[in-house]
Structure 1
């Protein structure tokens, strides 16, 4: 189903707060003594709407639609008592901070007659003609060789899975192998041996004919292996890491493999000869996710510190830095039209990025809110652990609230499935969009029927 929607800023527009009516009184109470007409510390004058937009010596004070990237908002919410503004005073009340945030995110209006400064952007889902076309004979396993499975003390957590884009096939990580199941019957149809160790990442190629498996043995070795889905034949083994591969992806033309892990470096290899094409060394922490765009033009890479960057897929030339996440990014995935990149992380954020200019077109800051158990105090983890698009622009996520959720192309939640006694780690939508498969920390597989949910 195609979704036609014009998005303004970060989704549905909040109530229109204005500088003159709502924000200036707050600034007068807390800020204008140091940042007004009489004195402008750091050359910042917040006395008028125009001077506030101008900013100061530290840069632009407010960015329309992005409170998280606005210096004013960062200064009044800094967790360090010595750095937070106003200095040597109590923090601005949370209700007033929320108003400043809402004013910035809704477009920095000066008066009720002003228009939002957040530009309208059309992110309706329209796959390019011919892109991701269905193959004449979609690949399904046929008489795969038998794989002997080692006995384990307890089931391996389901660290990774992916669904074929064209057949009812689900690939699921297991100990030194990958299980292949029929989503419709939930029966196992074959196995692929992965003696390299534990699969950490699994992706089908865009035509569903090749399965990419990355993983290895922690602090020992890591590799990416490409399998022919129909025959189970190993087509290529890429990389020679000294630690397990944590993140990997196969380019749409199947010519490149990008991989990364604890080495903080993204390596891009040719699949034809296995040689290194280029390295990306910008990241400062472990590489946690990499993803080629559906059109093969860009490569997105993310790390454990929340760093996220876009590169030219063929050359590794820098394109954009996408700054929003404040903690480890656990998942990246591109929508089938290559207009939108989804990122999800331990900070609880899911972001649908407009990759034309790196704008967070839709942002869900508390996408998987956990329920507070009785007697438990303090901050609860609300991280998002996986995020995968289907062919129609719907996004499937799993979070630390022990719930798998489905979002449409506008960022609206359309289904949610809770797991009572384990943490979901992986999830994927079936090729026809009718079922979701999920795996958890106890090694269990779950299947949910979306038609029944509707």
Structure 2
């Protein structure tokens, strides 16, 4: 990836004696170019990237010239160290590509200083203002109730009897969802979906899903329709829409040759988007089952799909970490959201359609501002794992599930066997440690009083907020 980049800054850092680091001085303030970053450049860079000589047309000796970048473009991007060429170069794991060349990596304290400077907005001096623009991300609850039904919200009544399959072990809770306006939760089971009263935890009935394993469950915006997507691996996949009150099948969408791994129902219930191992997102009409359009930009399995609550945008993610934002009506590309370094496991929109949350196997949890694709809140290690005694190597720290509630709070699950609840500003407000199993799915009830967690051992847990 960085061979082209290295041509720009192939001599970005020259070997030299270590600079005296000013970590204590910087601790109480945001790092700036003149006091903290330029001394590092002076020690390592300016012989090849200064006023006298500019390899790749890159001059780091002056603040304005540094911002302009080199012959191949900018080397720093305000607020996004992970997307800045300079930071990528000094943190590249390949010894042959990392800067400075032919030398050990720059010490962690200095790398962290540069990261803070970029993420803090590329301050020139201590009196400068951040180049990261101010964003109004306040949650507007009134925008979240557009789908509220005029009468009583739908609840199951006299559902057809369903035979409960005999299993050698409990089916892992791969998916679940909670009705937006009723005390009702739908939970994945083998060839079935369980419907429970979310306040009493009483089972109200089940829906047959002979198509196979339910991988995705979603209520419609008004709570009257339940979408179930899944199938049988390397055999078949489909999306089924159910009437919540009667359990009747309303529509069957798609005819895949592998299980559907990701899907969503548009807010107006007119379209279903689905995807899986085929790397293609397909958008179908729920009225006649006809294919409306395909999205072919992804390079790996489709792992998550979500329509925005206002119906204007469609977000899709894949196993390689790619996230794309599309016009939901035309299928035209709007934004590429590049930050994750591993599979994206889940996507969810905040109710006002402003923020999109993404969770990845790289441990990142991101709240995206979908106006311009900026990661407004970026937790690089949202579910840090604890290393068991006597273990070595990398410990998985993936974030596996993410869901907003009606108040803009976010609930996430991770491989650290922990469920976390975050407020609208991205601050952790509750942590729930699992005793057994890995939490695979989670929701906050419609009244916001409890978190419901489904784990890999088939357990369903209710935890009060």
TM (norm. structure 2) is 0.93
TM-fit CA distance, 1:299: 0.3
TM-fit CA distance, 1:325: 0.8
Distance 1:14 1:118 in 2: 20
Which ranges in structure 2 are unaligned for 5 or more consecutive residues? 1-26
| 2:35 partner SS | helix
Give 2:7's aligned residue: none
Q: 1:36 aligns with which of 44, 47, 50?
A: 50
TM-fit CA distance, 1:266: 0.1
Give 1:286's aligned residue: 301
1:328 aligns with 2:338: no
After superposition, the C-alpha distances for 1:82-130 in whole angstroms (9 at most, x for unaligned) are 1111111221111100000000000101111111111100000014556
TM-fit CA distance, 1:58: 2.3
Matches within 5 A, 1:389-400: 389-400=404-415
Q: 1:112 aligns with which of 126, 142, 155?
A: 126
Q: 2:70 aligns with which of 40, 56, 72?
A: 56
TM-fit CA distance, 1:260: 0.2
TM-fit CA distance, 1:393: 0.5
1:76 aligns with 2:90: yes
Q: 2:269 aligns with which of 254, 270, 279?
A: 254
Give 1:377's aligned residue: 392
Distance 1:361 1:133 in 2: 29
Distance 1:425 1:79 in 2: 31
Q: Which has the higher contact order (CA 8 A, sep 6+)?
A: 1
1:176 aligns with 2:202: no
| 1:311 partner SS | strand
Q: CA RMSD in A?
A: 1.3
After superposition, the C-alpha distances for 1:171-202 in whole angstroms (9 at most, x for unaligned) are 10000000011111111111000000000010
TM-fit CA distance, 1:25: 1.3
| 2:432 partner SS | strand
After superposition, the C-alpha distances for 1:416-438 in whole angstroms (9 at most, x for unaligned) are 11102210100011000001111
Distance 1:277 1:352 in 2: 29
8 Å contact kept, 1:30–1:92: no
8 Å contact kept, 1:150–1:175: yes
1:338 aligns with 2:345: no
Task: State which drifts further: 15-24 or 191-200.
Answer: 15-24
| 2:135 partner SS | strand
1:86 aligns with 2:73: no
Distance 2:265 2:174 in 1: 18
Distance 1:34 1:148 in 2: 74
Distance 2:232 2:130 in 1: 52
1:25 aligns with 2:39: yes
Q: 2:418 aligns with which of 403, 426, 429?
A: 403
Give 2:362's aligned residue: 347
Distance 1:363 1:325 in 2: 10
Distance 2:29 2:364 in 1: 22
Change (3 A) 1:133 1:150: closer
| 2:329 partner SS | coil
8 Å contact kept, 2:148–2:181: no
Give 2:235's aligned residue: 220
Q: 1:146 aligns with which of 146, 152, 161?
A: 161
TM-fit CA distance, 1:40: 1.7
- Alignment coverage as a number of residue pairs: 438
TM-fit CA distance, 1:37: 2.1
Distance 1:68 1:316 in 2: 28
Give 1:6's aligned residue: none
Give 1:230's aligned residue: 245
Which ranges in structure 1 are unaligned for 5 or more consecutive residues? 1-12
| 1:65 partner SS | coil
Matches within 5 A, 1:281-320: 281-320=296-335
After superposition, the C-alpha distances for 1:355-405 in whole angstroms (9 at most, x for unaligned) are 111111111111111111111122211110010111111111100110111
Give 1:3's aligned residue: none
